[in-house]
Amino acid sequence: MRFILIVLLVLVFAYSLALVLLNDIQAKVNLVLTQVPEMNLGLLLIITLVLGVVIGLLLGLQIFRVFQMRWEISRLHKELEQVRARHVQAATAAAAAASAKALHPTDASPPSA
């Protein structure tokens, strides 16, 4: 696995180096609020690619957390409904047992004087 990762990193580095060397045109970048001085077009492409990947990963992680929380909330709602159903069954059974005991007392001892 490490070998594959090293090979991928070398390939990305080689691609980045080729991108910088082959695109040696100077380009101006005019942002909305500021202007960046002229820089190498290849370097500009690499910077925008890295920023895009980082922002995409951060947004992806945040969206995954939102979905993970929704799944957890859904699971907890289902569990709550199951607990409520068991509670209602237990309460119904206890009420039936108390009613049956009140109608037919099994401990009939004479009252003491």
Q: Which helix (H) or strand (E) holds 78?
A: helix 41-103
Specify the number of domains making up the chain: 1
In a domain, 94, yes or no: no
Residue-wise pLDDT for 48-102, tens only, equals: 888 998 999 899 888 888 899 999 999 999 999 999 999 999 999 999 988 888 8
Alpha-carbon torsion (92, 97, 99, 100), positive or negative: positive
Alpha-carbon torsion (13, 17, 20, 22), positive or negative: negative
On whether the CB atoms of residues 20 and 8 are closer than 8 A, the answer is no
pLDDT for residue 111 is more than 80:
no
In a domain, 79, yes or no: yes
Determine the straight-line distance between the first and last CA of the chain, rounded to whole angstroms.
89
What is residue 104's DSSP assignment? S
Alpha-carbon torsion (99, 100, 101, 104), positive or negative: positive
Residue-wise pLDDT for 2-54, tens only, equals: 889 889 989 988 888 888 888 888 888 887 888 888 888 888 888 888 899 89
Structural domain including 62 reads 2-84
In a domain, 57, yes or no: yes
In a domain, 108, yes or no: no
The more confident residue out of 73 and 108 is 73
Q: Is the whole-model pTM more than 0.85?
A: no
Residue 112's pLDDT is what?
61
